[in-house]
Amino acid sequence: MTPTDAQTFWISEKIPNDQLLLYCFEGQSESLEDVRRAVLDRASSIPDLCVRIREVPWHLDYPLWEPMPVDQSLVVTHRLPDSSWEQCINAIEVLLENHVNPRATPWLLHLFEGVRGAPRCDGPALIAVLQVAHSLADGKRASAVARTLFSADEPKSTEIDRRSISSVEILARAGLRLPSQIYRLFRDGRAGHQAQLQLQADTESGVVAPQAPNRPKVTSNIAPDAHRLVRMVVRDAADLRADGVSVTVGAMTAISVAMTNYLLAADGVVPPELGAEVTIAKDGKPKSRNHFRNAGVGLFPEVADLRERAERITESLAERRARAAHPSSAASDRALEAVPGPLIRWGVQQYDFTAIPETVTGNTVVSSVARGAADLVFGGAAVRFTAGFPSLSPVMSLTHGVHGIGDTVTISITTSPSAIADIDHYEQLMHDAIDEVRDTFARRV
């Protein structure tokens, strides 16, 4: 494993961070058993679905990815008492409360057959939920895996390495790596320090924007309880898009409206610093399965004109991306890659993930991934929409997933009763906010 992915794995043992990728299909023509057999056969040809984590003895090095057999236990069918969409949502909430063990398997596929009342479906739907450990893939990579799994086309032939490595070989490899890691630690650590000094100079001179300010906590920043609540707001992509405004920015504008209205009722006040912690893809070719950074982006609730607010969000997002693309970021990554695995693991173990800071990077999380054309087929059924549910943390009890496929975009809401007890009310606020954004954009065309 790379240092980034190993760190993600070790953190997941403190704060679970499984991803759930939901795909809704309508028009199933194959039996569920045929569906199971076909998807298992397809999964056995996808390299990312044929590995699991193996820890190095005595944790002397980073964990390894070892071959994993694909068997029937990896596809789980769920029976709903009345096959309603509401009960399917409740079952997904339970899935979010249970997590995979990537040492046994880093993924599971959950199937809900004959679901009635799903958005964009006139008849019963087949709901497929791919549960993936974050150490296996980030949102973009996991979406690519799902596309291969559900594509109507046969996947490209790929040679999968199914060889196991003995403990003796693992320890020998760790012994050979250590001297070079020590050398790289000093070399890349020094280079990383010099790059940080350059970032400071470039910030002072205005070449790059300063670091995003931390934000005051609001209701959504309290600790979640053990239970999860989810809703999916499925809309046309055109409702969120305008000239100069991406779907991501349109969604963030709607989120800013819904959060503002909710917080006004819950807290009586909305801080002008209200912002979101947004996942931003790193530049360049991925070296790790997790190839992204998090950055704080303003939501500007004090800006009344929603077109102007969208422009401000666009500028804030561009500033964060430009700062993340500064050479110092790549230098910091190289410095992390030089740190021996035992040191990173020790650092994760020592960190107090229950500590509550005075301020936060964002008042919600926004994770946005475009999942391509609406040409996926599963069990003879055509895809109607897709969704995803960013995980909660001790200081984040409200997250938003923005996931598009074809001309449809879903804003998924994940929260906990401790933060938002009436999630149906918040769901309606989100629909109303999207309507307001759509109408504002239409008037300004």
Q: Which domains does the chain have, with CATH numbers?
A: 3-155+167-171 (3.30.559.10), 214-323+342-373+385-443 (3.30.559.30)
Give the CA distances from residue 38 to residues 30, 288, 308, 438, in Å, rounded to whole numbers and listed in that order: 10, 29, 49, 41
Q: Which of 163-167, 191-195, 293-297 has the highest mean pLDDT?
A: 293-297
Condensed to tens digits (0 to 9), the pLDDT of residues 338-376 reads: 888 888 999 999 999 888 899 999 999 999 999 999 999
Q: What is the pLDDT of residue 234?
A: 98
- Which residue type does 57 have? P
The per-residue pLDDT for 429 is 98
- pLDDT tens digits, 6-29: 999 999 999 999 999 999 999 999
The predicted pLDDT at position 183 comes to 59
Residue 445 has pLDDT above 60, yes or no: no
Q: What's this model's pTM, rounded to 2 decimal places?
A: 0.94
DSSP string, 203-250: HHHTSSPPPPPPEE--GGGSPP-S--EEEEEEEEGGGT-BTTB-HHHH
Q: What is the mean pLDDT of residues 220-244?
A: 96
The letter for the amino acid at 392 is L
pLDDT, tens only, 62-94: 999 999 999 999 999 999 999 999 999 999 999
pLDDT in tens, 251-286: 999 999 999 999 999 889 999 999 999 999 998 899
- Going by C-alpha positions, the residue among 140, 74, 83 that lies closest to residue 101 is 74
- Cβ distance 412 to 96 under 8 Å? no
User: What token pair was written down for 204?
Assistant: 């002072």
